[in-house]
Structure 1
Amino acid sequence: MNPGQGRSGGCPGQAGASLISLLVALALGLLLSSAVVALYLGSKRQFLADDELARVQENGRYAINLLRRELLLAGFFGGLAGSALPAPPETGPGCGATGRWPLGPAPAVDLQPEYRGGVPLTLGGVSLDCLPASALQRGSDLLAIRRVAGEATLANGVYAAEISAVDSGHWYLRWREHTGDADWWQAGRIDAAEAAAGSGAWYWRLHPRIFYVRRYSAAPADAIPTLCAEGLAPSGMLTQCLVEGVEYLVLELGIDESGDGVPDNYLRHPTAGQLQRAVTARVHLLQRGLTPLRGYRDRRRYSLGQATLDLAGDGYLRRVFSTTVQLRNAAVWPLAE
């Protein structure tokens, strides 16, 4: 009888070899599973980071282009010089203690650099008490722009394309070229004689806005900094929030000291007199993501022109957006008397 006879299972040592193979297979499986999980988590983090960066880029570009267009049109009043603008109406809505902005005499481009608290006061001397002071982002600039629409609602008695009437209750700059008369008019009904081709009547809708950064979007609890604007509505000033994630707004004005139309220097804190000699503006925005990224800490120092920001290390992505704008209209006329 052979020594191996009577043993169940076949070859000697087979059971031991199978156990080792099983352990090796389990170890390899765990390693492979860990690698797959790590790859998945890494891919998910990268996807979230790319998605957040795309949102930052999109919002930042939109915000900087919006402000660029506003500054290009700042001071445009249908071809009228500042000295030819009408006197403000005796009563009317507006911003400021006397309610004279934007219908009263004020710079076409005005600002308060580095807001630090209290009622904002612009370089042009306008008290912007219509703004929510408690919600304004400290250290950010405020920008006030006066202008009319880029196209006349009624041009020499003819309505613009796809327009058949004025917007009831809104304010217009009304100008009659035959007499040279101009006044501010709160829209009611246009006289039939003026709404006839060749009448010489021009109506330009007023589009003034004060841009600022608010510390929240929909409610204080969301803590999403947002670019907002205060605009003139029929019954007063109306808040409109435009772009979420805008954390800081910084402006530098190019001042023409020599009178050749070229900026000699850029200032963050020009005087009221220098404000009238501004021919260009540099706009800087710090755009923040809306959702923090897990495992990411932002410890960068950000330069927004002459301003430098050191922010707490949080998990938000940020990017700086900048542009330089020529003040085509605002620089050619002084304050109305």
Structure 2
Amino acid sequence: MIDSNRIRLAGMTLTEVMVSLLLSSLLTLALVSLFVSARRSSLQDEQLATLQEVGRYALSFLSRELEMVGFMGGFDQVEVIDNAALVSADQSTLTQDSCLALLLDGQAGVTHFNNVNEFGQETDHLGQSTGRSLPSDCNLGYRRLVKGSDVVVIRRVKDHSIQERGFSTDNLVPWAVYLSFSDLSGPAVMHRGSDLNAVTALQSRSPQRELETWEFAPQLIYLREQSDVLCTDQGAPPPELCRIRLKQSGYGLSPPQCLVDGVERINITFGIDNDRNGMVDQWADVPPTALAAPIRSAAVDLLVRSAVLEPHYSDPKIYLLGRDVYDPIQDGVACTEHHRRTSFHTAVETRNLWSLRP
């Protein structure tokens, strides 16, 4: 005969089964929640790391270019640089309001457009038009500019003369633009590599007839939108940091070269030395054109935005970039507040002889 007590001990009651299932479900739910939380944290860390990488690269690039703004190979008498030889074979004069003329203006180290709108028209920190704008023929890749960001044209020569790189004037690239001078007091001429007449004329005016030649490398730096549709269910594609340079395979400007995605705002202010005592007297959104007030330093503020939309995340912060205030919620693009952002700031001292001239 089977003992009924042994039967009860060999199994589980219904209550015990229900408790066991409940504990198993709770444990499974806890593990799933832990996995989801870890996954979300990993994605957030990845986005923050990407923001840091993008911001540091863009800040390093802009800082380096602003440090070298107006560097003409040690030649500091920029007002005597002659660029009349920069004439195309099929063009008798350079149109002064063209984008090419803007980049070839060797007498101005920098041209800055503050808080442009999507069409390249400049506004002040209050949003009012200043009457200045980018030339209409600047090929920006048929994309809209980022509204509220700055555009800057930086003019300088490359870091080393062609003589230091082991070249001679016989090895000049025909369509490249060069700055040649005999000594630091002038004369100086900007010419294309194929223009031997300009080089010969300069040599005839130079007592020693030994020229120093540097390749001229200006660039227009700006932010543009990647798409005309700024906000979708997947989020707003981040803007691109791009530049336009001189074409070396022909006359004119090269197509836009985009360096990195994710830079949402650029703000640049310039430290001006009004009394030429070597100290910054004021900070200005737009640098003066007169040589009597040189630029001693430049401050750069960047705002970097993630590419991934996070519907459950909202950025409530208001960012101060120079004198400009940016509120993502009031940006007019509904989804942009659901992106992560990080701001970057640095100040650099210009290291060209033009700015250090007493």
2:69 corresponding residue in structure 1: 74
Shift of 1:149: 0.2
1:319 correspondence with 2:342: yes
Q: How does 1:42-191 map to 2 (within 5 A)?
A: 42-80=37-75, 81-89=77-85, 91-92=87-88, 97-98=97-98, 99-104=100-105, 106-120=107-121, 127-129=134-136, 130-132=138-140, 135-155=144-164, 158-159=166-167, 165-177=171-183, 180-188=186-194
Q: Secondary structure of the residue that 1:280 maps to in structure 2?
A: strand
Shift of 1:79: 1.5
Indicate the larger mover: 98-107 or 55-64: 98-107
2:355 corresponding residue in structure 1: 331
**Following the alignment from structure 1 to structure 2, what is the Cα–Cα distance between the partners of residues 256 and 177?**
27
Tell me if the contact between 1:96 and 1:128 (Cα under 8 Å) persists in the aligned partners. no
Deviation by residue 1:240-277 (Cα, 9 ceiling, x = unmatched)? 11121000000111121222111112122555459943
Shift of 1:97: 2.7
Shift of 1:96: 6.0
Q: How does 1:195-234 map to 2 (within 5 A)?
A: 200-216=210-226, 219-220=227-228, 223-233=237-247, 234=250
**Following the alignment from structure 2 to structure 1, what is the Cα–Cα distance between the partners of residues 211 and 300?**
36
Shift of 1:55: 0.6
**Following the alignment from structure 2 to structure 1, what is the Cα–Cα distance between the partners of residues 289 and 194?**
36
Given the two structures, how large is their TM-score scaled by the length of structure 2?
0.77
Shift of 1:286: 0.3
Q: Secondary structure of the residue that 2:300 maps to in structure 1?
A: strand
1:31 corresponding residue in structure 2: 26
**Following the alignment from structure 1 to structure 2, what is the Cα–Cα distance between the partners of residues 140 and 200?**
44
**Following the alignment from structure 1 to structure 2, what is the Cα–Cα distance between the partners of residues 211 and 178?**
29
Shift of 1:124: 12
Shift of 1:190: 8.0
1:308 corresponding residue in structure 2: 325
1:277 corresponding residue in structure 2: 294
Shift of 1:182: 2.9
Higher-Rg structure is: 1
Shift of 1:141: 0.9
Q: How does 1:237-256 map to 2 (within 5 A)?
A: 237-238=253-254, 239-256=256-273
Shift of 1:292: 2.1
Tell me if the contact between 2:86 and 2:192 (Cα under 8 Å) persists in the aligned partners. no
Shift of 1:288: 0.9
Which 5+ residue runs of structure 2 have no aligned equivalent? 124-129, 230-235, 330-335
| Percent identical residues | 27
Shift of 1:125: 6.7
Tell me if the contact between 2:106 and 2:155 (Cα under 8 Å) persists in the aligned partners. no
Q: Secondary structure of the residue that 1:322 maps to in structure 2?
A: strand
Shift of 1:86: 1.8
Shift of 1:321: 0.8
Shift of 1:180: 5.0
Deviation by residue 1:59-81 (Cα, 9 ceiling, x = unmatched)? 10010010111011111111212
RMSD: 3.6
Query: Counterpart of 1:143 in structure 2: which amino acid?
Result: V
Tell me if the contact between 1:89 and 1:103 (Cα under 8 Å) persists in the aligned partners. no
**Following the alignment from structure 1 to structure 2, what is the Cα–Cα distance between the partners of residues 311 and 201?**
53
The change in CA–CA distance for 1:186 and 1:179 in structure 2 (over 3 A counts) is same
- In structure 1, which of residues 236, 251, 255 is the aligned counterpart of residue 252 of structure 2? 236
The change in CA–CA distance for 1:273 and 1:124 in structure 2 (over 3 A counts) is farther
Aligned length: 320
Tell me if the contact between 1:284 and 1:320 (Cα under 8 Å) persists in the aligned partners. yes
Tell me if the contact between 2:151 and 2:221 (Cα under 8 Å) persists in the aligned partners. yes
**Following the alignment from structure 2 to structure 1, what is the Cα–Cα distance between the partners of residues 184 and 278?**
32
Q: Secondary structure of the residue that 2:82 maps to in structure 1?
A: coil
1:21 corresponding residue in structure 2: 16
**Following the alignment from structure 2 to structure 1, what is the Cα–Cα distance between the partners of residues 43 and 172?**
46
Tell me if the contact between 1:88 and 1:104 (Cα under 8 Å) persists in the aligned partners. no
Given the two structures, how large is their TM-score scaled by the length of structure 1?
0.81
2:333 corresponding residue in structure 1: none
Query: Counterpart of 2:37 in structure 1: which amino acid?
Result: G
**Following the alignment from structure 2 to structure 1, what is the Cα–Cα distance between the partners of residues 294 and 34?**
58
Shift of 1:27: 0.6
